Amino acid sequence: GAVVSQHPSWVICKSGTSVKIECRSLDFQATTMFWYRQFPKQSLMLMATSNEGSKATYEQGVEKDKFLINHASLTLSTLTVTSAHPEDSSFYICSASGQNTNYGYTFGSGTRLTVV
């Protein structure tokens, strides 16, 4: 159990365009989703935490108007990178947890975003 699907796995977009990344929990209800950004050879940097039906809580320094997070259902959360720029190029990864604490935190497969 505890499978999280993330799409797309990689995307290349032009500067100024927006990109949407989806994260789905396939076999459990994800009451909380976490969105991370990871730079090469570095740890996971938490961007925001979202609880189903509530507004996301963003970490300090993360622009909420640039990284739009929606968690409208217990199985789906989306991260939209708006007006993307080359410095937004990174590996974005979601993690989901449910009220059943037997699952812990389960990661999606990640999305490699390249902005050209």
Q: How far is the CB of 44 from other proteins (least distance, A)?
A: 5
Q: Binding of other proteins at residue 93 (CB under 8 A)?
A: yes
Pick 20 or 112: Cβ nearer other proteins: 112
Q: Binding of other proteins at residue 42 (CB under 8 A)?
A: yes
Q: Rounded to whole angstroms, how far apart are CA atoms 47 and 38?
A: 10
Q: Rounded to whole angstroms, how far apart are CA atoms 23 and 34?
A: 10
For residue 61, what are the CA distances in angstroms to 13, 15, 48, 77, 110? 24, 21, 11, 21, 22
Query: Which parts of this chain interact with other proteins (CB under 8 A)?
Result: 6, 31-32, 34, 41-44, 46, 49, 51, 91, 93, 97-110, 112
